[in-house]
Amino acid sequence: MAQPTRSVTLDAAGPQAPPDPLDLATARRRLATPERLREFYAPRSIALVGASDSSGWGRFVVDSLRTAGFTGALRPVHPKRPTAFDLPTVPSLRALDEPVDLAYVFAPTHAVESVLEDAAAAGVRNAVVLASGYGDGGDAQGRELERRLVEQAVALDITLLGPNCLGFVNAAGSVAPFGLGIVPPLRRGPVGIVLQSGALTSNVLAFARVHQVGISLLTSMGNEAVITTADVVEHLIADDDCQVIGLFLESVRDAPRFIELAAAAMAAGKPIVALKVGRTEAGQRTALAHTGALAGDDAVVDAAFRQYGVIRVRSLEELLVTCGLMGSGQVPRGRRVGVVTASGGACDIIADRSTDEGVEIVEFAPATTAALREVLPPFAAAQNPLDVTGVILADRGSAQSTLGDVALNAVVDDPGVDFVFNMLALPQAEPPDPSIVDQRVAAIAATSERSRVPVVNFTAACTDLSPYAQSLLDRHGLHALGGIEFGLTAIGHALTWHETKAQGCQQSHFPATTRQESGFADMRDGPWAEALGREFLASAGVPLVPAELVTDADSAVAAALAFGGPVALKICSAEITHKSDIGGVALGVSGADEVREAFGRVLAAGRAATSAIDGVLVSPMRAPATELFVGVTVDPSFGPVLAVGLGGVFIEVLHDVALRLLPVDPAQVRRMLGELRGAAVLGGARGTRPADLDRVAEVVAGVATAAAGLGPALQTLEINPLRVDGGDVEALDVLVVTGPRESGGN
């Protein structure tokens, strides 16, 4: 019997007054909570709306459901055709005798609205919408159509995936309403994958299948009108079937929430591995400062991911191999490796790539070397990385049949290794006598089981594992990484993730401090005069080189005499940010006459540029020392970002800079300094004193805190340079730019 109709109708002309976007966003979130998505991604009954025997999309979905092992009810819906896929149809969702858990909507764009009304009337709470022509088209009409779709979903209480979406594959739940073909078998496992690209899903599934990467859930996202990538990540964090989260991202649409979820995933022990595409060079946030140019869009994404433990990869292959390792149960946590191969060439490659990944190939202990010499051929070297030679493959005699077993056991017992990188040679087809291969693989499994350290197996190249090789590994509970290159890259990612987790990460936020709370209620929008910027930093406890603001030559001479020795004179005006470009700086000035002349010259240069002159800053010259660049700017997505780099050629030409989202503490700044390519300079170069890194980190963290104190007004705060002479740290030049910010940096 058909369900009674629940009358829910939207005005065809649209709502008279569009709802507040914030209210709509809040309502949308209620449709995509982890509880709702748990129900959405595990339907026990599915309606195919608009499907027919002639529909290629419909055929794909039916085949995918069959491949996944779906045993629930499948109900085709078509207004004209009596059957579809050998099943009787009903003319609409309203005609169903009982509600289904999910409606997969093949209907064209113009018919989607009426289908959703039918769904609500029939008690259907979940829908996948295949149709395009919404926000994906990029035009105003499509965006308006998508906004109306969200309003309708909210009004009808329907959780919706899409539009412009192929659906999902829930391998753990044996259900795959998915609009492309899936080559069987569907490999189940601990990896949840979210793709902001529908067409790549088949490629991901194909690679995963032949490289032993088991999937818990794979979902394409479409336009993310209702269910967003962040929603699915939150669901996967709570999902017991998922232990690793893989992402293909075209954009990070809600950066603050993404960062919150990244921190939550790390706290839950679930690595996030992300392939973020669309790298762009952002222009300067403000043409007045260097910081905006250094903190480009992609650089900020990279820094945010690294700071909050998101593993960033460069290819789909790297994404999946890394996910496979993280879900394998054999994940290294220390950087000392013992290598076992049957190839000298492989040893050479591994030695080079291990260095790249910060993995240390240690010397074997004497006991390990002695045990290896007892079984290795006379021409083989008992050293790390270990080449047991081709004898293990060519000689099947009883004397050599245990060579690989003994070698691997000796290496895993070495007290100096944190993990073992073990090369597998797997036949593509079942050999005439499979017992020998099976015996070797069983021995590796037994060693892995008893080993105190992880044994990470790999193949020499990233070739597809044959069905026989997969079955062999599966039978013995082993996982093999696809190739030396991807394998060691994945290991590097895993080690960095565990180190980041051990260090801990705090939640980033944009401080809500107002201008009045900062103590500078009368500050202007735009660049500040340097004297005001210095006053602001000094009030925050940031050390600065002494300076005095003067308005006449006699005062300049008096200030110079008080400081003693050579001085610097700089024009001070909010209208002049690049002082040296207009001749507004004089350096190394000594004596009263020189000071008077320099004052007049600097003041004249300033007056030639603007009438808004506060005066001239006089400060003592400092001896050469190490110079740092420190800047904070506001990324439109992630909020305030700290940039730290060495001065001079390092920052101007090499763009050698480390980035972090605010807030930061001194420990994080210490790590930033260590990331710089020129970090060795801080140890003392060309006669300079080694930097007191703890003091430097303390000052830089204080600068970041001061910048955050400007709250939503912050645009840029920059010190260039920050002079470092051992433990003496001083800001020499200061730039502050503020302005109205409605978003508060988010």
Domain locations in the chain as residue ranges: 1-185, 330-503, 546-620, 626-738
For the stretch 246-257, what's the b/e string if a residue is b when 16 or more beta carbons lie within 10 angstroms of its beta carbon? Answer: bbbbeebebbbb
How confident is the model at residue 577, as a pLDDT? Answer: 87
Q: What share of the chain is helix, strand, coil (3-state, %, to 5)?
A: 40, 20, 40
pLDDT band at 263 (very low <50, low <70, confident <90, very high): very high
CA distance 193 to 736: 43
Tokens linked to 731: 């800001």
Structure tokens at 95: 């005609």
Nearest 5°: the CA angle 276, 281, 283 is 135
pLDDT of residue 405: 83
pLDDT in tens, 235-244: 999 999 999 9
Mean pLDDT of 260-283: 86
Whole-angstrom Cα distance, residue 200 to residue 81?
Answer: 32
Which residues are bridge partners to 722 per DSSP? 628, 731
**Distance of alpha carbon 444 from alpha carbon 340, whole angstroms:** 12
Quick check: do 330-503 and 546-620 share a fold? Answer: no
Question: Which CATH code of 3.30.300.30, 3.40.50.720, 3.80.30.20, 3.20.20.140 fits the domain covering 1-185?
Answer: 3.40.50.720
Alpha helices in 221-286 (DSSP H): 229-238, 255-267
Give the pLDDT of residue 686. 67
> Which is more confidently placed, 518 or 194?
194
What pLDDT does 10 receive?
A: 44
Task: Give the whole-number percent of the chain exceeding pLDDT 70.
Answer: 89
448-452, 525-529, 540-544, 693-697: the lowest-pLDDT one: 525-529
Closest CA to 134 of 152, 120, 122, 118: 152
CATH number of 546-620: 3.30.1490.20
Q: What is the separation, in whole angstroms, between the first and last Cα of the chain?
A: 51
The residue behind tokens 């079942």 is: 430
Q: What is the pLDDT averaged over residues 417-421? A: 98
- For residue 630, what are the β-bridge partners? 644, 719
pLDDT band at 694 (very low <50, low <70, confident <90, very high): very high
> Which class would CATH give 330-503?
alpha beta
The pLDDT of residue 138? 78
Closest CA to 28 of 181, 151, 127: 151
Six-digit token pair at 657?
């800079």
- Is a pLDDT exceeding 90 seen at residue 536? yes
For residue range 669-691, list pLDDT tens digits in order: 999 999 999 999 998 876 778 99
Give the integer Cα–Cα distance in Å for 298 and 399: 57
Which uninterrupted H or E stretch holds 393?
A: helix 391-394
Spatial distance between the Cα atoms of 470 and 457, rounded to a whole number of angstroms: 13
Q: Which of 183-197, 283-297, 656-670 has the lowest mean pLDDT?
A: 283-297
Supply the pLDDT for residue 400.
42
Q: Is the pLDDT of residue 194 over 80?
A: yes
pLDDT of 8 over the 50 cut: no
CA geometry: angle 284, 287, 293, nearest 5 deg: 25
Reported pTM: 0.89
pLDDT band at residue 647 under the 50/70/90 scheme:
confident
Q: What is the rounded radius of gyration, in angstroms, for the C-alpha atoms of the chain? A: 32
pLDDT of residue 164: 95
pLDDT of residue 698: 98
Quick one: average pLDDT of 727-734? 96
Interval 201-217 mean pLDDT? 95
Q: Is residue 731 pLDDT above 70, yes or no?
A: yes
Residues with Cβ < 8 Å from 232, sequence gap 6 or more?
37, 192, 194, 219, 221
Decide if pLDDT at 618 tops 70.
yes
pLDDT at 399 over 60: no
Q: What is the mean pLDDT of the chain?
A: 90
pLDDT, residue 740, reads: 80
What pLDDT does 12 receive?
Answer: 41
Q: Is the dihedral of CA 476, 479, 483, 488 positive or negative?
A: negative
pLDDT at 284: 38
Angle at 326 between CA 320 and CA 327, to 5 degrees: 90
Is pLDDT larger for residue 16 or for residue 479? Answer: 479
pLDDT band at 406 (very low <50, low <70, confident <90, very high): confident
Place of tokens 């909210």: 154
Reply yes or no on whether the pLDDT at 321 is more than 90: yes
Query: How confident is residue 355, by pLDDT bands cut at 50, 70 and 90?
Result: very high
Q: Could you please report the per-residue DSSP string of 19-51?
A: PPHHHHHHHHHHTSSHHHHHHHTS-SEEEEET-
At 592 the three-state DSSP class reads: helix
Q: What is the pLDDT of residue 137?
A: 73
Report the distance separating Cα 299 and Cα 574, nearest Å. Answer: 30
Question: Cα dist. 225→22, 143, 218, 259, 416 in Å?
Answer: 14, 10, 18, 21, 53
CATH code of the domain occupying 626-738: 3.30.470.20
Q: What is the pLDDT of residue 505?
A: 60
pLDDT score recorded for residue 546: 97
User: Has residue 491 got a pLDDT over 50?
Assistant: yes
Q: Could you tell me the two tokens for 549? A: 């603001």
The structure tokens 């395009």 sit at 132
Report pLDDT for 649: 67
Return the H-helix or E-strand segment holding 674: helix 666-675
